[in-house]
Structure 1
Amino acid sequence: MARHYSETEVVAILDDLDRARLQSFVSAQVVTPVVTPQGPAFTEADVARLQLLCDLSEFYDLRPDSLGMVMSLIDQLNTARGDMRALIQAVASEPDEVRGRIMTYVRRVRVTGQG
């Protein structure tokens, strides 16, 4: 079962996070707590995301609304990386002939920019 952290626990874990900042991140919808019988809670992934949000807002002076755009781009990049990893595994499972054709096609696209 996944571990959930209360608002109090998250604020205690992350040095750069206080309740007001946490609420601003939730209000900006850059992190969304899960609803539990005990109240709003955050997953381990949320805690890591909150640390990144704190770092971005501190180092780059980004406001919560700007953080939404940055986090959306990061989420898209992570999705693309996962898709690429799955695609690489799928290609690796194909016979040599198929992998060779795929590599030839990829090289042609890199050189010409056309498929």
Structure 2
Amino acid sequence: MARHYSETEVVAILEGLDPARLRFFVKSHVVTPLVTPHGHAFTETDVARLQLLCDLSEFYDLPEDALCMVMSLIDQLNTARGDMRALIQALASEPAEVRGRIMAHVHGIRTIRGD
């Protein structure tokens, strides 16, 4: 069973995170904890995202609104990477002739664009 952390536990675990900042990140939907009768329950993924937010804030002195934008960009990049992996797997299941035509087409597009 997955471990869940309370707001109090998350604030205690992560240096640089206080209750007000945690509430801001929840309100901004940077993390989406489970809502329970006892309050929010944070997953390991939530804690990792919050750690990254604290690290970015500390090392790059980013304000909270910029942190939200950076996390959105990271999420978009991760989604694109997942889509690319799925596309590569789908392409790998196609016959060599189809793969060759697609790769030639991709190469032609990249040449035209100068990639």
Q: Tell me the distance in 2 between the aligned counterparts of 1:96 and 1:29.
A: 44
Q: Tell me the distance in 2 between the aligned counterparts of 1:78 and 1:68.
A: 15
Contact 1:28 1:64 in 2 (8 A): no
Structure 1 residue 41 corresponds to structure 2 residue 15: no
- TM-score w.r.t. the length of structure 2 is 0.87
* 2:63 aligned partner: 63
Q: How many residues align?
A: 114
Shift of 1:12: 2.5
Aligned CA RMSD, in angstroms, stands at 1.8
Q: Determine helix, strand or coil for the equivalent of 1:5.
A: coil
Query: Where has structure 1 moved over 4 Å in runs of 4 or more?
Result: none
* 2:10 aligned partner: 10
- TM-score w.r.t. the length of structure 1 is 0.87
Contact 1:28 1:68 in 2 (8 A): yes
Letter in 1 for 2:73: L
Unpaired runs of at least 5, structure 1: none
Q: Tell me the distance in 2 between the aligned counterparts of 1:87 and 1:27.
A: 34
Unpaired runs of at least 5, structure 2: none
